[in-house]
Amino acid sequence: MPLIQESYDHLPYVDTDLDPGSIAAANALLNAEMRSAGIDTSDIHPALAPAAKYTPTFSDFIEREHARLNDDPTSKLSGIDLKRYQDLDAPENTNPTSDEDRPELLERWNKALQQAYTSSEYVQARLTQLGLLEKFGKNAWLVGNAQLEDILRGIEAELADVRKQQEATEMLRRSQQDQNYGEIKTLEVEWRKAVGNVLETEAAAEGLKQLILEKRRAGAV
C-alpha cells in the first residue's frame, strides 16, 4: 500500500468527523496491512530526497574557544588584554638622567611610551565616537525606527493580503461543497440502498440454496 495517495479529495464541510475509536481502528488496520506488506513506517519514503549530511567547519579561533569551554565551561573570554591600557605607571628614573648605561630601563620607558600612545589614541577615538553619537545618534536612531516601521507596515500589508486570499479560498471551497451537498447525500443514500439490496439478494440466495439442499435430502430419503 503506497504511503502517498493519488487523490487528495476532502470535504470538511460535508463529511462528518470520525470519532477517536474509528480513527484508531483505521490506523490499526493500516499499520497491520503495511506490516504484512513488509513496509517499515520508520524508514524514509523513497519519494523523499535524502537529507544532505552537514558537517560544520569553524575557524582556528573558534576551535580554540570550543576547546577552552570544554576544558573549563566557567572560564571567560580573554582575547583582549585590558592590562595594557591600565598598567601605565612610569618606570623609575635614572641618576643621572642618561639611560645609556642601563639599556633595559630604556626599553621599559619605550614600552611604557608605546602603551601611553595606544591608550591616548583609544581614548581620543572613544571621545570622537561619543561626540558623533551625541550629535547624530538621535537622528540616526529615529531614521532607523522609521525604516523598521516601513518594513513592518509592508509585512503587515502582505499578511493581510494573504489572509484575504485564504478567506476567499475558504469561502469558495465552502460554497462549492455546499452546492454539491444535496447530490452527495443523495448518492450516499443510493449507495447504502444498493448495498442493502445486495445483502438482501445474497441472503435470499443463501436461503434458496439451503431450501434446495433440504429438498434434495428429502428426495434422497
Same domain (yes/no): 191, 159: no
Same domain (yes/no): 184, 157: no
Identify whether 14 is part of a domain. no
Q: Provide mean pLDDT across the span 202-217.
A: 90
Identify whether 28 is part of a domain. yes
- pLDDT at 161 (0 to 100): 96
Q: Which of 1-5, 70-74, 137-141, 147-151 has the lowest mean pLDDT?
A: 1-5
Same domain (yes/no): 113, 149: yes
Higher-pLDDT residue of 53, 8: 53
Q: Provide mean pLDDT across the span 19-45.
A: 82
Number of domains in the chain: 2
DSSP secondary structure letters along 26-95: HHHHHHHHHHHTT--TTSPPTTSPPPPP------HHHHHHHHHHHH-TT-----S-GGGGT--PPPPPPS
Identify whether 109 is part of a domain. yes
Other CB atoms within 10 Å distance of the CB of residue 193:
10
Q: Provide mean pLDDT across the span 11-38.
A: 84
**Sorting pLDDT into bands at 50, 70 and 90, what band is 49?**
confident
Same domain (yes/no): 108, 24: no
**Main-chain phi, psi angles of 33, to 5 degrees:** -65, -40
Same domain (yes/no): 167, 199: no
Identify whether 10 is part of a domain. no
Distance of CA 89 to the CA centre of its chain: 56
Prediction pTM value: 0.43
- pLDDT at 87 (0 to 100): 61
Q: Provide mean pLDDT across the span 44-63.
A: 81
Same domain (yes/no): 211, 167: no
**Structural domain that includes position 208:** 20-45+180-220
